[in-house]
Structure 1
Amino acid sequence: MSKKALGRGIDALLKTEKRDFSSVIEVPLDSLVVNPYQPRQDFDTETLKELADSIKQKGIIQPILAESKDDGKYLIVAGERRVRAARIAGLREVPVIVKRFTEEEKLEIALIENIQREDLSPIEEAYAYKRLIDISKLNQEEIAAKVGRKRSTVANTLRLLKLAPPIQEALRKGSITPGHARALLMVEDLEKRKVLFNRILNKGLSVRQTESAASLFKKKVDTSKNKSLSLEKKLTPELKDIEQRLIDAFGTKVSIKGTNSRGKIEISYFSLDDLNRILDILS
């Protein structure tokens, strides 16, 4: 089944309907340097070996896309995976199309190339979107149009960056799935989120089990908040009277939280002088 074209596509970025292979040159592998905008951090060894075997038999069908550097080297814009496989295959040179690109185009092309193969991890994709937004100053909807994604997809992927580094690393390595990650984001309390994350790893919770646990965590937090609000709202007439007398005595906001048997008093101050004034009254 053919894949749907993403955004403008690499051909559109090259500003040509048909790639001009007459401009292809042979470049030594040692002269090619990695694109710092490459979103993919992990290259699967097995699939690289399969590609290397194919290159040995058929050569590199699609040239590498690169930009010339001042030091005589060539920056890989698209095709790092092919370059890695070519090294494994024992090639010394590879076909390259050399063009000039803006910083935004370098990242956009690298991102589109990887998304088209659908082998970027969700975290790698999230960081690529963020970097593209930082460089281009475009909003999520405009970024989505560029890479051929729905705005909601881009937004949900970017939300993964709110997860703690250990959780991001687990997602990048495949120890947890995007479904697990989205369920963890339901838990706003960071400590409780960490507890649930460890439970996923140690007990092998499914996505559905994680969602149920996250809902329980959220329900407990909401219940706790409601109890707190209930205590604040249900002051007895005696406590309301005492609260007002304290406000009059200290000349500032005073809150009583609790019941006739137990609770706490909060006295607000709004400057160091105000605090010293309150201390003088207390002493």
Structure 2
Amino acid sequence: MAVPKNAKRGLGKGLDSIIPAKVVTTAKKPEAVTPPVDGQVVKLNITKIEPNRSQPRKTFDEDTLIELADSIKQFGIINPLIVTDKKDHYEIVGGERRWRAAKKAGLKEVPVIIKDLTEQEIAEIGLIDNIQREDINPIEEALAYKKLIDDFGYTQDVVADKVSKSRVTITNSLRLLKLCDHVRQMVIEGKISTGHARALISIENEEEQITLAQKVFDEKLSVRETEKLVKNLGKTSKPKKTVANKASLDAVYSSLSEKCKQAIGTKVEIISKGDGTGKIEIEFYSNDDLEKITDRLCKG
């Protein structure tokens, strides 16, 4: 990636661990009789290079591409693209954003490192290269982590080590994939931040999640306000009994009490707790009463 004088970090630990850092610069072009040695930095005609269609990154911010193109016009491409030879063309393994910006800058040739890689290495390098770009959106980043885990069997710890980030960062990023598609798109478009999105993850109902996300966007709520909104959403008050319902239940209990009284021969009271539970109280006035009651209950 081409960078100005105040440039930030390069490809990072992850990509360097896959591609040897030591390269040999050569003035020869790939079209020369002597083919370039694997790992050499050479220049290729930009029209002979094509992006990798299977890479997870699908969106490129136009403004940042223009900024990078301006930088390339002044300083050139500092970090060569990584490509692999596909016989009829060269496919980008890492550096598609630089390639796009170079085209905008009007470059005819770009520096590349031609690597002989397996399909797994191509996929892994492409993913890590995209993850380490500063302008990648949070959803694409999360999808890239998931692909590393699903396709290569990596644990979150291994992924964290390869991209030089903490395990917590990886975990929090993957949690964004619990969002429904509509809310994910709002994150991609920058309508809500990752902080807002994390607050909405706990809402399992898709319609409620979308409604609250739209409310956050429309009312420009802060992350703190969003968290409070989600917390209050989970509070549901118990339905109050109406006078009509209470009177109806009382009539039922009174009728049952009377039936029990006639069957047993003494006062019976049914006491409800209001939630479908309660107790039955049976009065007796002597040991003989008790014996008669228990005898009737035991005999059904």
Paired residue type of 2:18:
L
1:6, 1:145 → 2: CA distance? 14
Equivalent of 1:13, from 9, 12, 18? 18
Report the more deviating stretch, 98-107 or 156-165: 98-107
Within the alignment, does 1:53 sit opposite 2:57 as a pair? no
Deviations 1:104-126 (A, max 9, x none): 43333333334434211110101
Equivalent of 2:276, from 234, 259, 263? 259
Residue of structure 1 in register with 2:162 after alignment: 146
Distance 1:125 1:84, change over 3 A: same
Q: Quick check: 1:69–1:75 contact (8 Å CA) kept in 2?
A: yes
Equivalent of 1:165, from 164, 181, 197? 181
Q: Quick check: 1:39–1:128 contact (8 Å CA) kept in 2?
A: yes
Structure 1 counterpart SS, 2:129: helix
Q: How far 1:37 sits from its partner (Å)?
A: 4.4
Structure 2 counterpart SS, 1:83: helix
TM-score normalised by L of structure 1: 0.71
Structure 2 counterpart SS, 1:94: strand
Within the alignment, does 1:174 sit opposite 2:190 as a pair? yes
Distance 1:3 1:52, change over 3 A: closer
Equivalent of 2:229, from 213, 217, 223? 213
Mark the structure with the bigger radius of gyration: 2
1:89, 1:191 → 2: CA distance? 45
Structure 2 counterpart SS, 1:182: helix
1:109-148 matched pairs, under 5 angstroms: 109-148=125-164
Residue of structure 2 in register with 1:247 after alignment: none
Q: How far 1:258 sits from its partner (Å)?
A: 6.0
2:138, 2:103 → 1: CA distance? 28
Q: How far 1:87 sits from its partner (Å)?
A: 1.0
Distance 1:216 1:76, change over 3 A: same
Q: How far 1:191 sits from its partner (Å)?
A: 3.0
Paired residue type of 1:193:
Q
Q: How far 1:44 sits from its partner (Å)?
A: 2.0
Paired residue type of 1:28:
N
The alignment yields a C-alpha RMSD, in angstroms, of 2.8
Paired residue type of 1:176:
I
Q: Structure 1: which 5+ runs fail to align?
A: 225-237, 239-256, 261-283
Q: How far 1:193 sits from its partner (Å)?
A: 1.9
Report the more deviating stretch, 159-168 or 141-150: 141-150
TM-score normalised by L of structure 2: 0.67
Deviations 1:127-162 (A, max 9, x none): 111111121011222212221122221121111111
Structure 2 counterpart SS, 1:13: coil
Residue of structure 1 in register with 2:90 after alignment: 74
Distance 1:6 1:60, change over 3 A: closer
Distance 1:97 1:4, change over 3 A: closer
Distance 1:126 1:45, change over 3 A: same
Residue of structure 1 in register with 2:282 after alignment: none
Q: How far 1:174 sits from its partner (Å)?
A: 0.5
2:156, 2:10 → 1: CA distance? 19
Task: Give the count of matched residue pairs.
Answer: 227
Equivalent of 2:117, from 94, 101, 109? 101
Residue of structure 1 in register with 2:60 after alignment: 43
Higher share in helix: 1
